[in-house]
Amino acid sequence: MTTLTRLQDDFQRRILGGDAAILGAVVGNTTADAAERVGVYVHAYSARLVEALENEFLTLRFAAGDETGAEMLRDYVAATPSTLRNVRWYGKDLAQFLRVAPRWRKTPAFAELAELDWAISVSFDAADETCITEADIAVVPFERWGEMILRLPQHVRLVTSAWNVWTVRQARDRGQACPELQRLEYPQTWIVSRRDFEVHYRQLEADEAVALETIASGAPFADVCAALCGWHAQEEVALRAAGLLKAWLGNGWISGAVLPD
């Protein structure tokens, strides 16, 4: 290992883990000793990570407030060393961190707010996919519809929340005051999707939510119909399933339909 490579490695270990080896190669002065001089870079690294997260989790910051929001992000950075070359994906575990961190788990809405923000962000950045149309479904023999496995594109995200986090998001989008965080009487499932470079979201009816969750699990269309039986009489299920499928195709929420060999 060359001297420069060793210095770079020691410097990285100091920033990421507090290793002291680099301090022997740093010259202090009367203004700041070696630890203080290197500490500037240690602080700058974590501060940039926090800044990136602040730009990612806008609804969480809106609800928690800038000061509290920054505190939870600093806690996340301290507890979750980055292993990624692209800071874009660094916040993927924030929601889970907030669910279990002793300081934040007493307010479960924070984790749900982080999950909401992440879903919107991932939907916006998802790879472009060509979605299928009614014409593509029409070529599937009707007697094999039950075997058909539908695929959701990457930009479609399903988010189920027990708190009024989507009301908070809507208030932020409309420039309104943040409503008080409240637990809902019943959990809600919302769908997030992207169209024409804009992310859209709306609440799903309970039967549609279960149907889409069934599709997301990789189950065949017969299982989607079976799931709908929990809300509709058997003779009404086929019509409801067909109507939902037509709407999903029109919304660009189906990227493929395959039949098993």
pLDDT digits (tens, 9 = 90+) for 110-136: 999 999 999 999 999 999 999 999 999
The 10 Å Cβ neighbour count of residue 41 is 12
Question: Is pLDDT of 24 > 90?
Answer: no
167: left (phi over 0), alpha (psi -120 to 50) or beta: alpha
So what's the pLDDT on residue 32? 62
Exposure string over 61-94, b if 16+ CB within 10 A, otherwise e: bbbbeeeebbebbebbbeebeeeeeeeeebbeeb
Q: Are 188 and 161 in contact (CB under 8 A)?
A: yes
Percent over 90 (pLDDT), the chain: 73
37-76 residue pLDDT tens = 655 556 567 788 889 999 999 999 999 999 999 999 999 9
Q: State whether the Cα torsion 217-220-222-224 is positive or negative.
A: positive
Q: Are 200 and 194 in contact (CB under 8 A)?
A: yes
The neighbouring-strand residues paired with 150 are: 257
Each domain of the chain, given as residue ranges in start order, spans 1-125, 128-261
Q: Which of 6-10, 208-212, 232-236 has the lowest mean pLDDT?
A: 6-10
pLDDT average, residue stretch 211-216: 97
- Binning pLDDT at 50, 70 and 90, where does residue 224 land? very high
Element (H, E) at 190: strand 183-195
- Binning pLDDT at 50, 70 and 90, where does residue 196 land? confident
Q: In 3D, which of 198, 206, 242, 216 has the Cα closest to residue 153?
A: 216
Question: Is pLDDT of 12 > 90?
Answer: no
Is the pLDDT higher at 81 or at 120?
120
Q: Which of 20-34, 75-89, 200-214, 218-232 has the lowest mean pLDDT?
A: 20-34
Question: Is pLDDT of 99 > 70?
Answer: yes
Question: Is pLDDT of 154 > 90?
Answer: yes
Q: Which of 4-18, 71-85, 101-115 has the highest mean pLDDT?
A: 101-115
Beta strands in 196-239 (DSSP E): 198-203
